[in-house]
A and B are shown apart, each in its own frame.
Chain A
Amino acid sequence: KQEVTQIPAALSVPEGENLVLNCSFTDSAIYNLQWFRQDPGKGLTSLLLIQSSQREQTSGRLNASLDKSSGRSTLYIAASQPGDSATYLCAVRMNNAGNMLTFGGGTRLMVKP
């Protein structure tokens, strides 16, 4: 059974710092990996999706990387801002699991002004 872990569970940084959020998964036979942002009391917003054949994806100040062999993905946030404060979740879709995604527990990020 696929297990997805995100460490740390919570992170607090001063504004302007570059930071890395980690996501690890136990089964490397993934179809893709998706990073989401969730604001308090809100739904999930898709940030980046990396297909299994890709190494990284970039969107603005966000860069997500994927290393299937080691079962890891990172989300890099450059020049963090207070508006980046949210919970960040990663989710993996398996090759043989139809439409089922397995989610990590999330990293709660606070960026202090």
Chain B
Amino acid sequence: NAGVTQTPKFQVLKTGQSMTLQCAQDMNHNSMYWYRQDPGMGLRLIYYSASEGTTDKGEVPNGYNVSRLNKREFSLRLESAAPSQTSVYFCASSEQPTSTGELFFGEGSRLTVL
């Protein structure tokens, strides 16, 4: 049972380049999330998708776009990468908030922007 799978695991970009982080879950969860984790800042929500077809901004959405491709997949796009976006990115999923709301995370994608 794979759970939440993220690709790529590591990426180095130059300032101004674009890239997409992919996330897929096989638990039939309705809600999916993208977080970034930075030293001293903890985990912060970038965007989330409560259900297929919907997306909403989280705490730090600037510089990012997301696509909920289908129920399984939720991608995060950096259109013009900046050094401030160097971080570890985590995708997560959960059932509807009206259930337990337990969150399951992927292994993370480590992004460096030079």
Find residues 22-67 in chain A having any chain B CB closer than 8 Å to their own CB: 31-32, 34, 36, 41-46, 49, 51
Find residues 22-61 in chain B having any chain A CB closer than 8 Å to their own CB: 31, 33, 40, 42-45, 48, 50, 56, 58-59
Which residues of A lie under 8 Å from residue B45 when comparing CB positions?
A: 100-101
* Interface size range on A against B: 20 to 34
* Interface size range on B against A: 20 to 34
Residues B42 and A44 in contact, CB atoms below 8 Å apart: no
Residues B42 and A104 in contact, CB atoms below 8 Å apart: yes
CA–CA, A89 and B42, complex, Å: 9
Residues B43 and A100 in contact, CB atoms below 8 Å apart: no
Interface residues of A (CB under 8 A from B): 31-32, 34, 36, 41-46, 49, 51, 89, 91, 93, 98-101, 103-106
